[in-house]
Amino acid sequence: MIIPLRKVCGIAYLCSRWILRQPAWLIQNVLTLIGFSILLYAWGGVEGLRYIIIAWIIGGLWSTGVNIVAQEVGWHRMMYLHDMLIASPIKPVHYLIGMFITSLIFPVIGLLTMIPLAYILNAWNIMLISLIMGLPVLLTSIMVGLIIVMRIEKPVNISAITNPIAWLLVILPPVYYPAWILPQPLRYVALIIPTSASAEISRQLIGLGASISIWYPLTVITVWIIIGILLASRTIKWGLE
C-alpha cells in the first residue's frame, strides 16, 4: 500500500511544479470567476449568483478532465516523459491518479473563491449539491480527455482541441442559464450534454425550477459515464500498457 502511494505522490509532485512557476494561471481562474459573478449579478441579481455557483463548480470539474488532464498527458507524450514512465514501475492507475490530484487545484481554488459568496447567500446546500452532481461530470470529462489525447498523433496541438471543447460545452448549453428559456424541443437537445444535464439536475434539486423531467438528465449522465468508461478503458490500455 505504501509503495503505490509513493508512486502516486511522485507523479502528483512531478505534475505540480507549474503551480510555483506559473501561478498566474490560478490568478486568472479567480479573476474569471469574479468577472462572471458580476455579470450574472447584473443579469439576474441574487438568483444569478446562485446560478454562478452551480455553473462554476460543474464547469470547473468538466474542464479539469477534458482540458487539464488531457493537456498534461499530451505534454508528457510530447516531451517523451510518457515513454519514461511506461518503462518504469509506474502503472497507468498511479499515473492517472497522480495527475488527477494535481489537476484538482483549479476546482479547489474556485471553491475557495466561492466560499464568501456562499456565506453571504447562505448557499451551502447549492455548493454541496453542485459538487455531488459534478462528480459524474468529472469522471466523464476525464474519460473524454483521455480518449482525445491518446488518439492524437501530435499532442502538441492538444490544447487547440481540448480548450474549445471545455469552454463551449459550458458556455453554449444551459449551464450558466436555465434550460426553460429554450423552446421545449430544444431542451432535449441541449440537455444531451453532460454539463447541462448535471446543471439541470442541480437546479431542480435546489429548487431553481424544472425545465424537463429529472429522469431525462439522469439518464443522459448515466449513458455518458457508461460509454466513457468503456471507450477510455480501451484507450488507456492501448496508450499506457
In Å, how far are 9, 20, 97, 129, 236 from 145, measured between CA atoms?
22, 25, 14, 24, 11
* pLDDT confidence of residue 240: 46
* pLDDT confidence of residue 190: 92
In Å, how far are 68, 131, 195, 207 from 211, measured between CA atoms?
31, 21, 15, 11
Q: Give the count of alpha carbons within 13 A of 44, CB side only.
A: 14
* pLDDT confidence of residue 236: 60
- Closest C-alpha to 66, from 159, 133, 192: 159
**The C-alpha cell of 106 is what?**
483549479
What proportion of the chain, given as a percentage, has pLDDT over 70?
85
What is the per-residue pLDDT across 3-52, written as a single tens digit (0 to 9) for each?
577 777 777 777 777 677 777 767 877 787 888 788 878 877 888 888 88
Report the C-alpha gap between 49 and 55 in whole angstroms: 10
Residue ranges covered by each domain of the chain? 2-240
Q: How many CB atoms lie within 10 A of CB 9?
A: 14
* pLDDT confidence of residue 202: 93
Contact partners, residue 23, CB within 8 Å, separation at least 6: none
Report the C-alpha gap between 18 and 15 in whole angstroms: 7
Model confidence at 234, in pLDDT bands (50, 70, 90)?
low
Q: How far is CA 101 from the centre of its chain?
A: 13
What is the per-residue pLDDT across 144-166, written as a single tens digit (0 to 9) for each?
887 777 777 766 677 778 888 88
Report the C-alpha gap between 6 and 24 in whole angstroms: 29
| Cβ-contact 40, 49 below 8 angstroms | yes
Report the C-alpha gap between 108 and 230 in whole angstroms: 28
| Cβ-contact 8, 90 below 8 angstroms | no
In Å, how far are 94, 143, 183 from 75, measured between CA atoms?
17, 17, 42
**The C-alpha cell of 174 is what?**
444551459
